[in-house]
Amino acid sequence: MSAPRPFGLLAELTYRCPLACAYCSNPIELARYDDELSTADWQRVFGEAAAMGVLQAHLSGGEPLLRRDLPELVRTACDLGMYTNLVTSAIGLSRPRAEALRAAGLDHVQVSVQADEPATSDRIAGIRSFDKKLEACRLVRELGWPLTVNVVLHRQNIERIGAIVDLVERLGADRVELANTQYYGWAWRNRSSLLPTREQLDRAEEVVTAARARLAGSMEVVHVLPDYYSRYPKPCMGGWAQRQLTVAPNGDALPCPAAQTLPLPRASVRDTGLDEIWTSAPLFTAYRGEDWMQEPCRTCDRREVDLGGCRCQAFQLTGDAAATDPVCHLSPEHGLVEDVVSEANRPARVDLELAPRPHR
């Protein structure tokens, strides 16, 4: 059976970033990504992606605005017929920079915001950035772009979720993503400081439900719950190497942004065409479909729904990337997740300080 064709490309243009967020899911060992793809390399990758049928190019990082060639890359993707989305902290989105991106054809901007007020936001981001982010959001709306505001939720800000939604509404955003932390990279190291309590999650769900009813038709409200509190896992990326792919700053091609942690051979766009990587690279074929599944996934009625869950999470928690995601209550390793949740909900628990993320 032939491989499905992807429709989305996450182009991680650089892992350099002005922020120091303790929930960052990018790799901890950044030195291996110092040798970034050139402008010509990225233009070739975009061309190969378009030839495969990719319709969306999400330009991310790190902070993609640190690439001086960003307008040129946007123009290339647009000329190839792809919808372009800038995923940014908005630090460095000056008016001249924004106007250059607008002229290049950028379709959409997604800005990350850490909280609803300066002190908390700046503490979480690691630098003074709150006012700059709000100014950038207003500039995005002034220039006519659709605006998505992404807020990573965790123990340090989730109780402000109502005020956060109010802020995003005032900014005139079309969409807000209230996404609980995924525990990879620095977020994994800081998990004990970031995982919310059940009580916090329940209150947040009430706020989101009310906000969706109030804002229906004017702003889309997306709420992503933490995997650790779910009865069943989410399907990994809509299926491993089924719909989307990622290219890291150094040219590594990945089925998902966290897949560099898996013990499988690397695949690089420096050496191999994107189509060949997608079709036959071991990193992409290893968990595509169902043949790799172990029990209880192999005979589970939900195997076509959640597809065994997240391979990277399974490897991180159990050391076996083919194991049933321990988030699933049917997993023989589910106790690993139950222990973490139990620890997060202890009444006498003391939060740790958020560790800053090194950046260059």
Give the H/E segment covering residue 306.
Answer: helix 303-306
Distance between CA atoms of residues 175 and 161, nearest Å: 15
Phi and psi torsions of 179, nearest 5°: -110, 115
d(CA 324, CA 331): 6
Answer whether 114's CB lies under 8 Å from 21's CB: yes
Beta-ladder partners of 11:
59, 247
In the sheet with 147-153, reading across from the earlier edge strand, the strands are 220-224, 175-180, 147-153, 108-112, 83-88, 56-60, 8-12, 244-247, 253-254
In the 8-state DSSP scheme, what is residue 89?
-
Q: Measured between alpha carbons, how far apart are the two ends of the chain, in Å? A: 45
3-state SS assignment for residue 227: helix
Is residue 17 marked as binding?
yes
Is residue 310 part of an annotated ligand binding site?
Answer: no
Four-point Cα dihedral 50, 237, 18, 267, nearest 10 = -60
Annotated binding site: 17, 21, 24
Known binding positions for [4Fe-4S] cluster: 17, 21, 24
